[in-house]
Structure 1
Amino acid sequence: MMRKPKKEAGPARTYTEKDFDVVWGLDPGRRDMFVATNQFEESVSCSSKEFYEEARYTKAKQKIKGWQDRHPKVLEAIRNMRTKKTASPEKLKVYIAFMTQRMDLLLRSSQLKPFRRLRFRIFLFMTKKLRQLCERLTPRGKRVVVGFGDWSNQDVAGIIKKSPAGLVKVFERELARYCTVIPIAEYRTSKVHFECQRQLKNQYSQRLCRDGEIRTQKVHSVLHCLNNGCRGMTVNRDVNASRNMRRLLECKLRGQDRPLAYTRQARA
């Protein structure tokens, strides 16, 4: 089958601040799909939970579970399925042997009309939600640029722990249809305070653990600045990162170098 050749990339266009009316810094993530802040200090965010619920993923999973429960052979194959998340060749061999015997059964069940109709509905609601998010960031009649964090969303911890990966890359491609999207390296953007460019420290709080013990644990979403000029300010990790992302985008538009606080030399 002949494939259409990819269009050759032309020379990269150079942008300046004068080319845009609204400048956003956007920090993608796992718990929050993204947090964005513009030069007017307006923030827009969407949690992964909100996205999955409005895209009808949650209801779809409940329906699929009900369908599977009514088919004993499919349910048996899913419940007894070996893991493929292993570095052991022996365990991987067991998984392959298990799947090859049940592959046709699982494929046939997933190609039934109710499954295909449900997947199409999910696609429609997902597209609708992505469009709504893009429209919130791109006011009509405004020239908008978004500095999009370059987080790949492929970290190993999320894969092993089965945490929802979100649709960060899909959202980035969709957003590029509405405005100018410029990738920004996220290095140290969540660790440096936007106001003073000093390194932030984690907040700690006492939490009741599952075993009934109360322990002092790190609060991931809240950071604390020890600089005297900031007077012990606490900040939201993602909002602070999005503001830093906007600063780096503004530096790029002005043709300035990346500030030292956001480079590897700052760790020395």
Structure 2
Amino acid sequence: MDNLKNKVAVITGGNSGIGYATAKQLKEQGATVIITGRRKEAIEKAASELGVTAIVADQSSVLDIDRLALKVKEDFGQVDILFINAGIAGLGTIEQATEALYDDIMNINLKGAYFTLSKFIPILKEGASVVFLSSNTASMSGAGSSIYSSSKTALNAIMKIAALELAPRKIRVNSVSPGPTETEVMKKVGLDEETVKSIMDVVVDRIPLKQMGTAADVAKMVSYISSEASVFITGADIIMDGGMVLA
């Protein structure tokens, strides 16, 4: 499994969940992997476990993104794979919405993702692959998810336009949109196993395939659409939610 040998891959938000799983997957396939994150201790611990390079950078800060792109250029030259994965979620009705929640989500999920692509375009190699982590909520309407869903819907619009703008350089731009995915998020907010299981059962009941996705599932898809097997795929939003958007 070395079909990404000699490729340089940058993954934002790589210290846990989907970013961590993707870093592991790409490393196993031979890529040189750089992961980023806001928290120095967490990102360095993850990098040590994975055997990859860590660079501390906050995706909500355009200044940090500028520094990140410059550091990657200095240390690694050009980039073959850019996985813009960092993001946060948040729920609340439109009536209850606060400016702080709106700004937090949009600054990372939309502005941060947008300028990460913008600042990395000059150092993307011809034929490179860019992947945005989107969400199946961009294709669904759920009460309480207006800000988060809007950030991902806008991200998909940017992805399609970027695919057109970068096509002359054979750079492919796609997005992956997972549905419910097993991560450590609910445990991190202090929910016990029984509560987590009851929430999972309700969610799984809404999925036609009757199972949760995993971070490894998404990692494999990012690897696939970043490989030579997908050289004719660009401007695509790949929904991975067990059929949830169909139900």
Same structural fold, with TM-score higher than 0.5 when normalized by the shorter chain: no
TM class, shorter-length: 0.3 to 0.5
Higher relative contact order (CA 8 A, sep 6+): 1
**TM-score using structure 2 length:** 0.33
- Structure number having the greater helix percentage: 2
Scaled by the length of structure 1, the TM-score of the pair is 0.31
